[in-house]
Structure 1
Amino acid sequence: MLLYTTVGTNDLERAGRFYDAVLPLIGYRRQKQAPGEIGYAADEDVRCRFWVVEPFNRELATFGNGVTIAFDAPTRASVDAFHAAALAAGGTDEGAPGLRPFHASFYAAFIRDHDGNKLVAVCERAE
């Protein structure tokens, strides 16, 4: 349904280091970089679906209250690894890995990046 999504950053280099450490653990990697933006995609995807950008209007990047970007993770172990890597890379915990009440197999971990963007890795497979 979604073509792509973006999160803003005030320090693209720092954000790139963070996402380079975290996203490969759930199957996404840096595919493109241009001035002011970095694009990530799953290995099998030819299009970047997640972008980290400096705001086009040159204002400070801010996070959206109530906004969460959810990534599909292949396994519960990859959700655990995503959460641990995010914390090690300077992210903050917004919900440790575990089952959530949304349905019986909804296993997720929530974090915030350096700019306050809220991210979640979710595995919906029973393991």
Structure 2
Amino acid sequence: MIAYTMVGTTDLNRSARFYEPIFSAMGLEISWRDERSVAWGVPGNRTPTFHACLPYNQEEARPGNGTMTALLTESPALIGRLFELALENGGTDEGSPGPRPEYGTGFYAAYVRDPDGNKLAFVYFDDNQCGG
């Protein structure tokens, strides 16, 4: 359903340094890069992709309160690794890895903000506990 997600940045190179190890650990590669944006996706697939970009209207990038991108992972262990990579590369902790029973049985997540303040969630759904 989603073709791409785009977050704004004030420093494209800093943003690329933040996201590259995270997406690499998820098996994703850079699928597009120019002077205004960089995108990651599944090798060989056009969509979905995740873009970090300098705003096209040339106004300052401003993250929205209540706006978040959730990245689906294959395991809780990977969430721990992604969380560490995010913090090592300039991200901030918005919620350490762990179960989130308030969002449903089998829901495991961690939350971070990138260096521009964009909020990300790394999530895992245990289908054996979620009824899937």
Alignment TM class, shorter chain as reference: over 0.9
Give 1:43 shift.
3.5
Report the TM-score, using the length of structure 2 for normalisation: 0.89
In the alignment, structure 2 segments of 5+ residues that lack a partner are none
* SS across alignment from 2:98: strand
Report the TM-score, using the length of structure 1 for normalisation: 0.92
> What is the number of equivalent residue pairs in this alignment?
127
In the alignment, structure 1 segments of 5+ residues that lack a partner are none
Query: Distance between the aligned counterparts of 2:31 and 2:106, measured in 1?
Result: 30
Query: Distance between the aligned counterparts of 2:89 and 2:2, measured in 1?
Result: 28
* SS across alignment from 2:103: coil
Q: Quote the residue 1:25 is aligned against.
A: 25
* SS across alignment from 1:17: helix
**Which deviates more from structure 2 when the two are superposed, residues 35-44 or residues 113-122?**
35-44
Tell me, yes or no, if structure 1 residue 82 matches structure 2 residue 107. no
Give the direction of change, closer, same or farther, for the CA distance of 1:23–1:66 in structure 2 (3 Å limit): same
Give 1:48 shift.
4.8
* SS across alignment from 2:32: strand
Query: Distance between the aligned counterparts of 2:108 and 2:26, measured in 1?
Result: 13
Q: Quote the residue 2:62 is aligned against.
A: 62
Matched letter for residue 118 of structure 1? K
Larger radius of gyration: 2
Query: Distance between the aligned counterparts of 2:7 and 2:60, measured in 1?
Result: 12
Matched letter for residue 38 of structure 2? I
Give the direction of change, closer, same or farther, for the CA distance of 1:44–1:102 in structure 2 (3 Å limit): farther
Whether the aligned pair in 1 keeps the contact of 2:70 and 2:121 (CA below 8 Å) is: yes
Q: Quote the residue 1:2 is aligned against.
A: 2
RMSD between aligned residues: 1.6
1:6-27: CA deviation from partner (whole Å, max 9, x where unpaired): 0000000000010002222233
Q: Quote the residue 2:123 is aligned against.
A: 122
